[in-house]
Amino acid sequence: MPREASAGRRLCIAGETVSPVWTLGDAAALFHPAEIRFPDYQIVFVVAPETASFRASPAFTPGVNDGAPCPGGTIRHAVTFGTDSYTNRFINLVHEVGHLFGLPDLYPSGGGAYNSEAGCWPIMSDIFHSVSFLGWHRHKNGWLPASRATYINAGTPAWYGTLSPLSGSCGLSMVVLPVDDVHHPSKVFVIELAQPVLGTNGQYWGEGVLVYTVDATIDTLESPVAIIPRQVSDSPDYGYLYEAPYGVGDVAHARGPAPVALAVTVLQKFGSCYNIKIEYRRA
């Protein structure tokens, strides 16, 4: 979905007659064209009743010529909220709208956040614990100013920098390094600060440096984002890979095709920021 569409109009249909076998067009047909012109809206939300017989809340992101027919035109982007929307956190809505902005599912097909290579950290992986988008997804949709990210494309024995929280309004918050082609990479390393996840106990957890890869050749539901964890662990409160971030004194190691290698040393924490050292080998 074009970035500027985020400023467009939205419409919510809350009805008690939406059937699980109906299409978006059927739901729209409940309204006379004189009441609502659906083509005037860039996103449509269809909210099923709490007694509906379908649980999931899928996003509708069709191809260029595959919109849902409706009176007066077509519906291009929509989310149909099933019964899970009455029991899940509000992140359920955020996750599905994320799809409308082109973001993929980060958990594997047939699985969930409990075996996702992205773990509990991104909204597109874990709607039950995550409270934020990864820096890469903020960058992808233009939500992270260019001045708050840097791209290192040459090998270096020692690059020093200070990472600031993504939730802040200034400072360097994301470092990106290519794994393959320098000028047109299909896979990159990403370094940013972990944004705390929310436990089922109502407590927040997580701080430190998060390191992960993004692979554009891997499709949605096949783990295109993979956390490189300090420790692989699970928690009934905080989720899978909840101990992934690196703290002061820790070193994160990652490798690409030989001779590409990355080492990230966490040197110091002051306030909410972290000083890091990057060693990056390409040749």
Residue 108 lies in a domain: no
- Tell me the pLDDT tens digit for each residue of 227-250: 999 999 999 999 999 999 999 999
DSSP calls for 120-184: TSSTTT-TTT--S--HHHHHHTT-S-GGGEEE--S-EEEEEEEE--TTSSSS--EEEEESS-SSS
| 184 and 124 fall within a common domain | yes
5 — pLDDT class (breaks 50, 70, 90): very low
| 162 and 215 fall within a common domain | yes
The encoded tokens of residue 40 equal 């005037």
Residue 106 lies in a domain: no
| 73 and 132 fall within a common domain | no
What's the domain range around 252?
A: 113-281
| 186 and 215 fall within a common domain | yes
Ordered alpha helix ranges (H), 101-232: 135-140
Q: How many domains does the chain have?
A: 2
Residue 107 lies in a domain: no
| 214 and 272 fall within a common domain | yes
| 159 and 46 fall within a common domain | no
What 3-state DSSP class applies to 126? coil
* Residue 9 pLDDT: 62
| 52 and 155 fall within a common domain | no
- Tell me the pLDDT tens digit for each residue of 162-199: 999 999 999 999 999 999 999 999 999 999 999 999 99
Tell whether pTM > 0.75: yes
